[in-house]
Structure 1
Amino acid sequence: MPKGKAAKGTKVTIKIAKKAIRMTPDGRRRLTLSNMGITIFPKCLLKLTNVDELDLSRNLIQKLPENIGNFTSLRWLDLHSNKLESVPESIGNLVGLTHLNLSNNRLISASLPSTIGYLTNLKSVNLGMNQLDTLPTSMMALDSLQELCLFDNLFISLPEFVKLLRNITKLNVKRNPLSYVQEDSEEMEKGKEPEVYLVHESSLCKTCLKRCKEKRERPIKGGGGGGGKGGGGCGGGDAFEEKRIRTYQGLIVPNSVAAVNQDVWRVRNMEYKQIN
């Protein structure tokens, strides 16, 4: 490479792109250009707006084209592990998207457009490993969202509207400077119970589901014994006092996947027992 000149990266032609299209088992057209050293979004891809899935992950792309919204047939977009610093507003035109992965980039909160809230068919959004400390409030419109990944960011508190997303079953906020434990400890010192997160039965492993059902069916006793042995599965079943169990249709007791990781949940529970 001549001195003073940076690498241009892999050049993708329309011929290369067409050869990279494969049919998925469910009959969708998937274009995979992952891990190819691409530094600039290939403009030729805009001629292939009929693809259903686009994978440009693990490249070196810094910017998306303003007209990325032309991919109106997209259902699945994977851009993880690039160098993206912003997302164009036209992403809001991809109303058919069900899965969006923007993890491991260089995104800050200001670089997420409010138009992301137009993507009401989204079921999974991965924004982990960025530099986010808040989310566009327009995302409260994502009623179909089931999985939201925010791990390895800068969140001090969880956006309030996330608790209103009724179909959320998995929320990953690991390795953020969240103040949950501290806040819950302060609440318990004041005699208040910490906030309880609930998830659907389908989100629990068989072992935890069995334990939770057994505990829910038991008569509530004054002392309420947690057991605390842990055992197998995902954990969290024996750690809750019977007097705190609440039943809702289709929902089970609190589980770590709905708010924070298991270690943090155990810390909360141990602190509560010590105080009481």
Structure 2
Amino acid sequence: MAKGKGAKGTKLTLKIAKKAIRMAPDGRRRLTLSNMGITIFPKCLLKLKNVDELDLSRNLIQKLPDNIGSFSSLRGLDLHSNKLESVPESIGNLVGLTHLNLSNNRLISAGLPSTLGSLTSLKSLNLGMNQLDNLPPTMKALDSLQELGLFDNLFISLPEFLKVLSNLTKLNMKHNPLSHVQVDGERMENKNSEAEEDMYLVHESSLCRTCLKRCQEHRDGVAGGRGGGGGDVLEEMRIYRGLMVPNSVAAVNQDVWRTRKVECEPIR
């Protein structure tokens, strides 16, 4: 039986893992093994057929098993704050995943497989705090994706395929060396670090009236200052329709970015 080593040399066996499974309020079975000093992914976990959510965050895991895709029951997988440099191709077999958190690892773009595009049930994907400068173009197939975290990486421009993700409502691109950005389709040169700080995008339907008006006025002001190129600007503004930069809902850190709510009056 494969065993993972936890804090103080503790052996994580299948028996121990089964006892740690808890029922969440929504009826899902959740296994939390966070912050246990685990250095090797416990392969015994792959024998669990009734776990819906697995939390292995804040450990020291450097590699996922090549057959991680056999964990077919998973709907949520949290591996943030480990030491992962790559993700195996078999992750594309986890077609039931709705939430995947790989933030705060050591991932490079070459370590992301094209099979990520097979995770068509994904609603939330967090790849923040890594060393990424581009994403597999196959991710254009993630039609269900609503929230994407790419903050604290090495992107110099927004991934091109984002324009076809029709359900994307939140995009966190803060702290990237962006040479230019496109907000609601409008190309904006990034001339200072302040522009990097502001690259947190949400859909306009998520904003309160005040924030929406402020964003629209800023967008219209920039577009109006382009002089004779009005036609080109209008064409570009269709690319990322609905995505804006709302400072009032920018996430504080990678632990809360996905669940943070807008606490002001919604649009009616």
- The reply to whether TM is greater than 0.5 is yes
One-letter code of the match for 1:81? S
- Structure of greater Rg: 1
Structure 2 match to 1:110: 110
Match 1:184 to one of 182, 188, 196 = 188
Alignment RMSD, CA only? 3.2
Check 1:257–1:85 CA distance in 2 against 1; reply closer, same or farther (3 A cut).
farther
Pick the aligned partner of 1:202 from 201, 205, 227.
205
The percentage of aligned residue pairs carrying the same residue is 75
| Alpha-carbon shift at residue 236 of structure 1 (Å) | 3.0
The TM-score normalised by the length of structure 2 is 0.72
Quick check: 1:144–1:167 contact (8 Å CA) kept in 2?
A: yes
| Preserved CA contact (<8 Å) 1:199 1:252 | no
Task: Report the AA paired with residue 120 of structure 2.
Answer: T
2:139 aligned with 1:160: no
Q: Give how far 1:254 is off.
A: 5.4
Aligned-partner residue type, residue 143 of structure 2? D
Matched, 1:42 2:45: no
- Aligned residue in 1 for 2:259: none
Gaps of 5+ in 1: 1-6, 187-196, 213-234, 263-276
CA-CA distance at 1:11 after TM superposition: 2.3
The structure with the largest strand share of the pair is 2
Written as runs of structure 1 = structure 2, the 5 A alignment for 1:116-195 is 116-180=116-180, 184-185=188-189
Match of 2:58 in 1: 58
Q: How far has the Cα of 1:134 moved from its partner?
A: 0.5
- Number of matched residues? 218
Judge conservation of contact 1:11–1:38 (CA < 8 Å) in 2: no
TM-score normalised to structure 1 length: 0.70
> In 2, distance between residues paired with 1:63 and 1:185?
38
Of 256, 261, 264 in structure 1, the residue corresponding to residue 245 of structure 2 is 256
The superposition leaves residues 173-212 of structure 1 with CA deviations (integer Å, 9 ceiling, x where unpaired) of 11111011697359xxxxxxxxxx9964431135324xx3
Task: Give CA deviations for 1:76-103 in whole Å, capped at 9, x if unaligned.
Answer: 0000000011111110000000000000
Gaps of 5+ in 2: 1-6, 191-199, 225-233, 252-268
For 2:58 and 2:132, the matched residues in 1 are separated by: 20
Q: Distance in 2 between matches of 1:48 and 1:102?
A: 21
